[in-house]
A and B are shown apart, each in its own frame.
Chain A
Amino acid sequence: MGRYLGKRLLISVATIVGIVVIVFFIVRVLPGDAAIARAGPYANEEKVAEIRDKYGFDDPMPVQFVDYFTGVFTGDFGVSIRTDGDVLEELLIRLPASLELAFYSVLMATLVGIPLGILAAARRGTWIDGGARVFAVFGSSMALFWLGLLLIYFFFFRLRWFPGPIDRLPIGTEPPPMITGFYTFDAALRGDFGLVFEAFRYLALPVITLGFVLAAPILKMVRASMIEALDSEHVRTARAIGVPPRSILFRDGFRNALLPVITAIGIVFGYMLGGNIIVEFLFAWPGVGRYAYSAIQVNDLEALQGFVIMVGILYVILNVVIDVSYAWIDPRIRLGKKVSS
């Protein structure tokens, strides 16, 4: 187990180095000129040249690369040309908002996808199964922005059940003191349940948007791997020795279907880390996704680099967590072969 973990971590470090290198080159082949964008439409040649010089855009590529590379590994992600702020700092301020959104969205997707998937597999071929599959097709073919717009239109604009798509709390409300960065958690820790309620009201629509769409792949994976597990030879054995159906469904079925399910949840979570740019933009959610969106608009290379590297690192961490949970779930990975007698 220790060796497994050590090897896994070593691979992770190599992956992160690879991400950093690739990101540098990708960002530099993007069209557009950051200096012109920064200088604005009325700037003259000299002004643009001055900006080029200031941010080092004129340095030879290898020099830029070395600066950037050593910077990243000493925690210096550079300065945003859009805000003149430190990129790492700006990202870290916005990260909790994104993580909170991701956390509740994946939670909702899991709470919807897993029970529905189990039910569909257990009642294969019935109307329950049919309904679950319709739901899955609907979810996976629904465009995020369209669903988000519909929810905003009906539940905010028409019905006024939820607040409008602006920020995480009502304007003028003081956020809870930073402990975890999740407003719902921090407010609850302080015992301010009114604020918890407000935070949830603002989370609701973006979480439903993402949760609905993300439940689909989880449902499909749970259903498929449950069916495989329930059709397996060891489940047949369990039935032959008289194990009750409920126990077969969970202990012999779901327990053995967990591995692909964990993978599906991991993929969905990873998708959330980079992919909720649209939803953050739509709901004016002050997270890293919206920050990246703004950076793209003005060719803010340093900020964009910082975002991609951060997502990459989070992704690698996520994968380590998934791999470790594999080992925890599956004794075939955790334990070596052979107990000889």
Chain B
Amino acid sequence: MSLLEVSGLTVGVEHSPHALLRDVDFTVEAGQIMGLVGESGSGKTMSALAIMDLLPAGIERRAGTVRLDGRDLVAQDRETVDRNANDMTMIFQHPRSALNPTMRVGRQIGRALEINQDMGRAAARSRATEMLNHVGIPGADRVARAYPHQLSGGMCQRVMIAMALACRPRVLIADEPTTALDVTIQAQIFDLINDLVEETGCGVLFITHDLGAIAEMCDRVTVLYGGQVMETGDVRQVFTDSRHPYTQFLFDAVVREADPSVEEKDVNFALQGCRFGHRCPYAFDACAEFPLLREVDTGHLTSCFLHQKENALGSA
């Protein structure tokens, strides 16, 4: 049983028949980092917000289950959420705007401690300073008394990580934690997340559009396009033996140049079939149906009829 198991997650805009996320499945194992990769608008952040039940107004979760250790976090009525920050918490892309501008950062961490670790106010205050120290902030005493606007972006992200740590989560979702930061800081933030996994054994869902970061950080990876999971598996499997035409196209675009046989078109959420179908050079009539994930190798799944056809041919 996986630590976090997302299955059939479907999300859409209210009063619109189209789905922004369709049948999204993936799992996060304890002590491992699962990468979630895709271009802008592919539904990475939307998936995270849907799992956390933090979807913005006007966007609704239509179907799917989120299980933590087999426990369904969303009750059947899809209204009440049986989750607290001890189970799962999240760090965000823009660390400075993700912090409350009118609250001292030490207090913000302290508040997370009070809520999630049953600490008193005084104990939480001194523990918050310790945690700032722990995430590598020198002069933690002074920084604890600062407001977010007085800190650099990198410092704010460390504060966010300290807050997430204070929740002692079993699953941490990191939504492009270094996109807004410069490259030298990026390595330090990655180290912090790696340390966190080693120390606490938590599972991480690591969202990025940077394939290099995936290769560096993750054990497994899930590729999203247009709200559909294209491929999921070990990083090595997906990187060296990609099975979905989209994944192949994506890697090609990074190392060489974009395959000219793939048409440049916007994501079409109205498509009933494969979300890559209208661009895919290999598309055939079956692609008008929605492809579910099928295993192509141990732990390596892809949502493409091409391989199901080949397999069928192979076994025949």
Q: Which of B52, B99, B137, B150 has the most CB of A within 10 A?
A: B150
Given contacts A237-B92, A335-B147, A339-B146, 10 further A-B contacts (CB under 8 A): A233-B94, A234-B99, A236-B98, A237-B160, A240-B52, A241-B164, A241-B167, A256-B101, A339-B139, A339-B145
Q: Is A239 in contact with chain B by the CB < 8 A criterion? A: yes
Partner of A236, one of B54, B85, B164: B54
**Known A-B contacts A252-B100, A331-B102; A233 and B92 likewise in contact (beta carbons under 8 Å):** yes
| Contacting pair B101 A332 (CB below 8 A) | yes
Among A234, A237, A244, the most chain B Cβ lie within 10 Å of the Cβ of: A237
B265, CB-defined interface residue at 8 Å? no
Q: By the criterion CB–CB under 8 Å, are A241 and B101 in contact?
A: no
Give the CA-CA distance A252 to B147 in the complex, in Å: 14
A242 touches B102 (CB 8 A): no
Smallest distance from the beta carbon of A133 to chain B beta carbons, Å? 17
Residues of A within 8 A of B52 (CB): 240
Task: Assess whether A341 is interfacial by the CB under 8 Å rule.
Answer: yes
A330 CB-CB contact with B under 8 Å? yes
Cβ–Cβ < 8 Å partners of A49 in chain B: none
Q: Does B73 contact A (CB under 8 A)?
A: no
Of residues 116 through 154 on chain B, the ones whose CB sits less than 8 Å from some CB of chain A are: 116, 137-139, 142-143, 145-147, 149-151
Known A-B contacts A234-B100, A341-B155; A241 and B57 likewise in contact (beta carbons under 8 Å): no
Chain B stretch 149-180: residues in CB contact (< 8 A) with chain A = 149-151, 155, 160, 163-164, 166-167
Q: Are B142 and A339 in contact (CB under 8 A)?
A: yes
Taking a contact as CB atoms under 8 Å apart, the answer to whether B138 and A341 are in contact is yes
Contacts of A231 in B (CB 8 A): 56-57
User: B149 to A337, Cβ gap below 8 A?
Assistant: yes
Cβ–Cβ contact A233 & B97, under 8 A:
yes
CA distance A124 to B56 in the complex (A): 13
Given contacts A231-B57, A337-B150, A338-B150, contact A241 B100 (CB under 8 A): no
Given the complex, which residues of B lie within 8 Å of A240, measured CB to CB? 52, 54, 85, 89-90
A232 to B52, CA, bound (A): 16
Q: Contact mask A224-267 → B, CB, 8 Å, 1/0?
A: 00000001111011111111100000011001100000000000
- Quick check: A243 and B92 within 8 Å, CB to CB? no
Which of B84, B97, B99, B150 interacts with A242 by CB under 8 Å? Answer: B84
Of all chain B residues, the one with the shortest Cβ separation from A256 is B102
Chain B proximity of A197: nearest CB distance (Å)? 41
Asked whether, in the complex, the Cβ of A341 is within 8 Å of the Cβ of B139, the reply is yes
Is B220 among interface residues, defined by CB-CB distance under 8 A?
no
Which residue on A lies nearest to B173, using beta carbons?
A240
A282 at the interface (CB under 8 A from B): no
17 residue pairs of the A-B complex, CB under 8 angstroms, read A124-B57, A231-B56, A232-B97, A233-B92, A237-B90, A238-B100, A241-B111, A241-B163, A242-B86, A242-B167, A256-B101, A330-B102, A331-B147, A332-B101, A338-B150, A339-B145, A341-B155
Give chain B residues whose Cβ lies under 8 Å from the Cβ of A332: 101, 147, 149
**Bound: A244/B111 CA distance, A:** 11
The answer on a CB contact under 8 Å between B112 and A236 is: no
Q: Closest CB of chain B to A196's CB: distance in Å? A: 38
**Interchain CB contact under 8 A, A241 and B116:** yes
Asked whether, in the complex, the Cβ of B115 is within 8 Å of the Cβ of A243, the reply is: yes
| CB of A308 within 8 Å of the partner chain | no
A331 engages B116 (CB within 8 Å): no
Give Cα A255 to B164, complex, Å: 23
Closest 6 CB pairs of A and B: A242-B85, A339-B146, A331-B147, A241-B112, A341-B138, A240-B90
Interface residue A16 (Cβ < 8 Å from any Cβ of B): no
Q: Is A99 an interface residue (CB 8 A)?
A: no
Give A301-335 as 1s and 0s: 1 = Cβ < 8 Å from B's Cβ atoms.
00000000000000000000000000001111001
User: Chain A residues near B85 (CB, 8 Å)?
Assistant: 240-242
Contacts of A124 in B (CB 8 A): 57
Q: How far is the CA of A336 from the CA of B151 in the complex (A)?
A: 11
| Interface contact B143-A339, CB-CB below 8 Å | yes
- Residues in A with CB closer than 8 Å to B138 are 341
**Least distance between A152 CB and chain B CB atoms (Å):** 44
List the A side residues contacting B149 at CB < 8 Å: 331-332, 335, 337
A166 to chain B, nearest CB (A): 48
Q: Is the CB of B137 within 8 A of A341?
A: yes
Residue on A nearest B151 in the bound complex, by CB: A339
Contact at B166–A241, with CB atoms within 8 Å? yes
Residues on A with C-beta less than 8 A from B98 are 233-234, 236-237
Complex: A329 Cα to B103 Cα, angstroms = 11
Q: Which residues of B contact A256 (CB under 8 A)?
A: 100-102
Q: Are A242 and B143 in contact (CB under 8 A)?
A: no
- Known interface pairs A339-B143, A341-B138. Does A241 touch B97 (Cβ–Cβ under 8 Å)? no
Contacts of A338 in B (CB 8 A): 150
Docked CA distance A237–B100 (Å): 9
